[in-house]
Structure 1
Amino acid sequence: MDATDTKNSKNMQETFKDFLSSKGLRVTNQRLAIFDAAFDHPDHFTAEDLLERAREIDDSVSRATVYRALPILTESGLIREVDVGRDYKFYMANRNVTTFQAQVICLDCDKIFEIDAPFMEWYGKTVADKLSLKVESQRLQVTAHCSELQSSGLCKRGGKRNS
């Protein structure tokens, strides 16, 4: 993490502290460790990934605390939840993304690719204007099979074709 990322992470942590206070929730070392673990993670992560990283920061972080903190972080807008249609979800830190993003999910290895999708802003506005609505959120999610896996039976990202 470079100096700019560290500064942004500290600003985001202050935002998280303010959010907790506004909800009447305590700012605890465990919640801050979970926040730091989420923002230090370079990619999408599961609750279990987050638990492992948070325990590296503060070994008193429990699984229950992580599972209680995730909805709080999501509600704050500081992390995004990504439902890939499995029995678990992925999360990703919201790092001031200024463009609209679409997610492409590999069904073979659960890898999530974020791609710029600037047309989504236009589409959301067009739909809202046509239906006289105010858009609260929008997302585009594409699921696909890895072409590498389909051709060779192996994917360098970890997927294996079921026989």
Structure 2
Amino acid sequence: MKEPLEVFSDYLSRKNLKMTPQRRLILDIFLREKGHLASEDLYTIVKRFDKSIGQATVYRTLKLLSESGLAKEVKFGDGVTRYEQKYGNSHHDHIICEECGKALSVVDEKIEELQERLAEEHGFVLTGHEMYLYGLCADCRRKKGGH
């Protein structure tokens, strides 16, 4: 398996784009951070290392990372596009708190098998899927006085 830097460099070359120091820094920071990052979140971190990098550069680089297969856009229903690391990571689904926005990545083999079976029963072969489960996390339920 290629290293992410090589994957991104190869992708940029195919698009006749250069691996600039700004893109390299954004890539390095994105790969270091865990979780689901909005472009604004990544921009805030990048600014600590290089104040000359603009928000548009971060946004465009995230798009390139997504197109190259290193990142994946995720949308949790709140109008914010976030990005998570895709390359080298296995498929997973998400559970999202509607109150605080906490999002967890989860894997359940039984659910995966059911999705495959459901597709097959309807004559489909899955090429991909996304599943988002919404609710209230334990912390938010406690704050509201629930269980």
Q: TM-score, normalised by structure 2?
A: 0.83
In 2, distance between residues paired with 1:39 and 1:68?
A: 16
Given that residues 34 and 66 in structure 1 are in contact (C-alpha distance below 8 angstroms), is that contact kept between their aligned partners in structure 2?
yes
Q: Distance in 2 between matches of 1:77 and 1:124?
A: 24
1:22-81 Cα distance to aligned partner (Å, 9 max, x none): 122221111111111111112221111111222233332110111112221112121121
- Structure 1 distance, partners of 2:84, 2:52, is 23
TM-aligned CA distance change 1:59 to 1:149, over 3 Å: same
2:133 is the counterpart of 1:138: no
Runs (4 or more) in structure 1 with deviation over 6 Å come to none
2:80 aligns with: 88
> Mapping of 1:62-101 within 5 angstroms?
62-94=54-86, 96-98=88-90, 100-101=91-92
Q: Does 1:104 align with 2:95?
A: yes
C-alpha RMSD of the superposition = 2.4
Provide the residue aligned with 2:106 in structure 1. 115
1:44 to 2:36 alignment = yes
- C-alpha change, 1:146 and 1:125, in structure 2 (3 Å) is closer
How many equivalent residue pairs? 145
Deviation at 1:117, TM superposition (A): 2.3
How far residue 136 of structure 1 moved from its aligned partner, in angstroms, is: 2.7
- Unpaired runs of 5+ residues, structure 2, are none
8 A contact 2:100–2:140 mirrored in 1: no
**Cα distance in structure 1, aligned partners of 2:70 and 2:64:** 9
* Matched-pair contact (CA < 8 Å) for 1:36–1:54: no
**Mapped pair 1:59 → 2:16:** no
Superposition TM-score, scaled by structure 1 size:
0.75
Aligned residues: percent identity? 28
User: What is the CA deviation profile of residues 108-127 of structure 1, one whole-angstrom value per residue up to 9, with x for unaligned ones?
Assistant: 11111011122454345435
Cα pair distance change 1:26/1:116, threshold 3 Å = same
Distance (Å, rounded) in 1 between the aligned partners of 2:142 and 2:47 = 40
Offset at residue 14 of structure 1 (A): 1.2
